[in-house]
Structure 1
Amino acid sequence: MSDTAKPWTQPMPDAQFKLMRDILAAPSPVGLEGAMTYGVLKPYFESFAPSDWHLHQFKGNAGVVLDTHPGRDDMFKLMIIGHADKIRMQVRSIGEDGKVWINTDSFLPGVLIGHEVTLFSEDPNAPGHYRSIEGGTVEALGAIHFSDPAQRDGSKGIKKEQIYLDLQIHGENKKQQVLNLGVRPGDSIIFNRPIRSGFSPNTFYGAYLDNGLGCFVTAEVARLIAEAGGTEKVRVMFAIASYEEIGRFGSRVLAGELKPDALIGVDVNHDYVAAPGIGDKRMQPLEMGKGFTLSVGSIASEQLNRIIASAAKEQDIPMQRDIVGVDTGTDGMAGVLASIDSAATSMGFPIRNMHTISETGNTHDVLAAIHALHHTIKTLDTLPNPKQAFLDNHPRLDQASPLTHQGSAKPENDDEKSA
């Protein structure tokens, strides 16, 4: 296959980048994911899904699942999961001076200062109706002139309790001005920072790559499968989950409801090579631009990993091994957490600056994940009996072959930095 025929070696087409941007831009803080699932992804699924596919919806959350063979529990069921929920800030209290004190959730306080945000406020007089407030910024000290020497030289940080939203309130009755807007404790606040193309080729940056990217990948794999005519033996369930950022609660509901035989969580990963202060900790050298990542360890199924890795190798799709401990940290854990017998693993793409306003990724890695998943599904669909294959082919270390010293000569195409 020539490089020109490999999408993961080419710039992402403009239309596809726009779709990715639209998914990532959807305001979907934890518990309010409908803007992404119903506002962007549901219409996109409906634009290409065959008439016999079905979109599952749920009562307790705004997750959705696009199902290629609804009701066919006799088939081998594969679930691919991205999560739509974004970490967010929340209104904690309102001060007499008009400051809106906020909780920082999973953000480091120092990365928030000075950034523009949008506050989403439920109308107290019309429950269920939300209004948005733009133009505010997140602050803590106000000015360097008001900080103590330790904060000025960096030896003392900013505490989460110091963070507030500044709506530029002034004049009389400052607190009442905020109350008159209907702003209340619990209202959600998210960054106002859509992604943009980066300076370096094939890069992009902005807020909330975690984890609109997993949703984008899941949706694009669904489109490729639809365009290829679907599957015969594998029932694929393209899932967009909720509540991942607070404990993977949404995905375990989806797994519990639909009981997949195999499950792949798709989520962002870390670029350890570029991470400040990490190099001396001897982390695996995952790096942006070197391909998708595949989790090894934890609950990751070696059988499922073997199929993914073989499909990627056959298509010359670059892959990096991600070493995980007791928990993948992703929706790849959904089957275990839901007490479902499901072969599972986690795939991703290294990004920089996770949980900041400037998360940074590489479109080649994202495209590599899309096409690796596409070819994995095609491979599974060629197995004579996928269910039986997973029952009978667990790795046997007692059958491992002896390995002797292999000398010091390097392979011709050795890459010392390969993961």
Structure 2
Amino acid sequence: MTEAKQPWTQPMPERQFNLMRDILAAPSPVGLEGAMTFGVLKPYFEGFAPKDWHVHQFKGHAGVVLDTHPGRDDLFSVMIIGHADKIRMQVRSIGDDGKIWINSDSFLPMTLVGHEVKLFSEDPKQPGSYRVIEGGTVEALGAIHFAENALRTGEKGIKKEQLYVELQIHGENKKQQVENLGVRPGDSIILNRPIRKGFSPDTFYGAYLDNGLGCFVTAEVARLVAEAGGTNNIRVMFAMATYEEIGRLGSRVFAGELEPDAIIGVDVNHDYVAAPGIGDRRMQPLEMGKGFTLAVGAIASEQLNRVVESAANAHNIPLQRDVCGADTGTDGMAGVLASVDCAATSIGFPIRNMHTISETGHTGDLLAAVHVIHRTVEALDAMPDAHKAFRENHPRLDQAGALAHQGSEKPDSKKKKGK
């Protein structure tokens, strides 16, 4: 495949973009992920999966796992995990003036003000039946005219306790009007912002790229594996987890139940180059549009990373190393959190403005992640004995060779001289 025709260097096909948009549009706040997993992803799986593949479903949550070799516990197994849950707001209480006071969860309070939301309310008379209210916005201060000077100048910020949903309630018995809708404390609220193509080439923006994008990438890897005829020597489990935003609990259940030998967490990452105000922190220069990211550190397996990086190098797929310290911050941690012996790593894609209504991504980074994971699966499937390879080939730093000074010439300058 020539570089000009590599998928990650081309605009994402419209069919793929629409699938991505459908996945991201599914209303799946924490604890209510079925809209994404059962409404979009499971039907997509069923459209291409061979008959002998199986979709696992679970009692405690709405996660799903597409399994290439159900019951084949003898095979080396790889679990690829995206998470379907979205951060959400919740109704805290209802005021006498009709204000719906809310919790902001994992959002910065100031990023929410003025944005449209959807409020999902369970019918008190029919538990299990949900209704949606649209047309509300998140507010905190009302007009600037009522704000103290410190708020006007930016010296003072908005507190999470000040946030409420404005439903334009007026007239008599304002609180009763809201209660008559069946709105109750605990009801879930999500941002109402569809995914749109961005101004710059191959970009897009909207709410909840975290982490419908991981589910999209995982689903597309599953399709490519199916179209290639599946795997012969390894079992692959394409997992759509839940509860990541409250502690990576759903993927921990997956790992505990299915005991994979390797885990690849797939999740959004940060564009540190574009992030405002962090230059003095000297973060690694991850950047949107420069390829997928690969976790280094924490529980990330150097053996598994070796396979991923070799696959990227062999197919010219752009890779960025992500320094993750003590914790990958993703479902890549699922195995160790579930006390399951497995090699694990995390693959991501830098986005901007995470946990806001205007998260921004690059389709090339997603396609790079899709294809490197697919090539990694192929490489693992080609191993004569993956179980043995991972047990016996841990890096030995005591066997490291000496490295001498390499001079000051840049590698590309040597290539130019050789022309």
Specify the TM-score bucket, using the shorter chain as the normaliser: over 0.9
Aligned to 2:117: 117
> In structure 2, what residue type is equivalent to 1:72?
R
Question: 1:5: how far off?
Answer: 2.8
User: Unpaired runs of 5+ in structure 2?
Assistant: 415-419
CA displacement, residues 337-373 of structure 1 (integer Å, 9 cap, x when unaligned): 0000010000000000000000000000000000000
> In structure 2, what residue type is equivalent to 1:163?
L
Residue 264 (1) aligns with residue 264 (2): yes
> In structure 1, what residue type is equivalent to 2:68?
T
Aligned to 1:85: 85
Cα distance between partner residues in 1 of 2:280 and 2:290: 21
Cα distance between partner residues in 2 of 1:36 and 1:239: 13
Aligned to 1:231: 231
Aligned to 1:39: 39
Aligned to 2:417: none
Paired residues, number: 414
Cα distance between partner residues in 1 of 2:126 and 2:300: 46
Question: 1:194: how far off?
Answer: 1.1
Cα distance between partner residues in 1 of 2:306 and 2:3: 24
Structure-to-structure mapping, 1:194-233, within 5 angstroms: 194-233=194-233
Cα distance between partner residues in 2 of 1:5 and 1:154: 49
> In structure 2, what residue type is equivalent to 1:18?
N
Cα distance between partner residues in 2 of 1:5 and 1:357: 33
CA displacement, residues 95-136 of structure 1 (integer Å, 9 cap, x when unaligned): 000000000000000000000000000000000000000000
Residue 274 (1) aligns with residue 253 (2): no
> In structure 2, what residue type is equivalent to 1:142?
G
Cα distance between partner residues in 1 of 2:377 and 2:5: 20
Question: 1:413: how far off?
Answer: 6.6
User: Unpaired runs of 5+ in structure 1?
Assistant: 415-419
Residue 133 (1) aligns with residue 133 (2): yes
> In structure 1, what residue type is equivalent to 2:401?
S
Cα distance between partner residues in 2 of 1:42 and 1:146: 50
Structure-to-structure mapping, 1:30-69, within 5 angstroms: 30-69=30-69
> In structure 2, what residue type is equivalent to 1:210?
D
Question: 1:45: how far off?
Answer: 0.2
Cα distance between partner residues in 1 of 2:386 and 2:307: 11
Aligned to 1:417: none
Give the ranges of 4+ consecutive aligned residues of structure 1 lying more than 4 Å apart after TM superposition.
none
Aligned to 2:401: 401
Cα distance between partner residues in 1 of 2:117 and 2:378: 42
Aligned with 1:186: secondary structure?
coil
What is the root-mean-square deviation of aligned Cα atoms in Å?
Answer: 0.7
Aligned with 2:72: secondary structure?
coil
> In structure 1, what residue type is equivalent to 2:266?
V
Cα distance between partner residues in 2 of 1:234 and 1:245: 30
Aligned with 2:411: secondary structure?
coil
Aligned to 2:324: 324
CA displacement, residues 36-69 of structure 1 (integer Å, 9 cap, x when unaligned): 0000000000000000000000000000000000
Question: What percentage of residue pairs aligned between the two structures are identical?
Answer: 78
Structure-to-structure mapping, 1:16-415, within 5 angstroms: 16-412=16-412
Cα distance between partner residues in 2 of 1:110 and 1:94: 21
Aligned with 1:107: secondary structure?
coil
Aligned with 1:324: secondary structure?
strand
Normalised by the size of structure 1, how large is the TM-score? 0.98
CA displacement, residues 211-258 of structure 1 (integer Å, 9 cap, x when unaligned): 000000000000000000000011000000000000000000000000
Cα distance between partner residues in 1 of 2:319 and 2:380: 19
Cα distance between partner residues in 2 of 1:352 and 1:148: 31
Cα distance between partner residues in 1 of 2:179 and 2:334: 41
| 17-26 or 405-414, which deviates more | 405-414
Normalised by the size of structure 2, how large is the TM-score? 0.98
Question: 1:4: how far off?
Answer: 3.6
Aligned to 1:7: 7
